[in-house]
Amino acid sequence: MYDKSDEELAKAEETIGTFPVEVIERFLSSVEARRPCEACGHSSWAHIPSYPLFQMHCTNAQSLVLQVLPIFCQQCGNTRLFNASRIDYFVRMEIQGDKDAAKNA
Give the CA dihedral 37, 41, 43, 46, nearest 10 degrees.
-50
Task: Using DSSP bridges, classify how beta strands 61-73 and 45-46 pair: parallel, antiparallel or unpaired.
Answer: antiparallel
Using the predicted structure, report yes or no on whether residue 1 has a pLDDT greater than 50.
no
What three-state secondary structure class fits 94?
helix
Q: Give the pLDDT confidence of 17-38 residue by residue, as tens digits.
A: 566 788 899 999 999 999 999 9
DSSP letters for 15-32: HHHTS-HHHHHHHHHHTT
Least confident of 57-61, 70-74, 98-102: 98-102
CA 47 to chain centre: 12
The mean pLDDT of 3-14, rounded to a whole number, is: 51
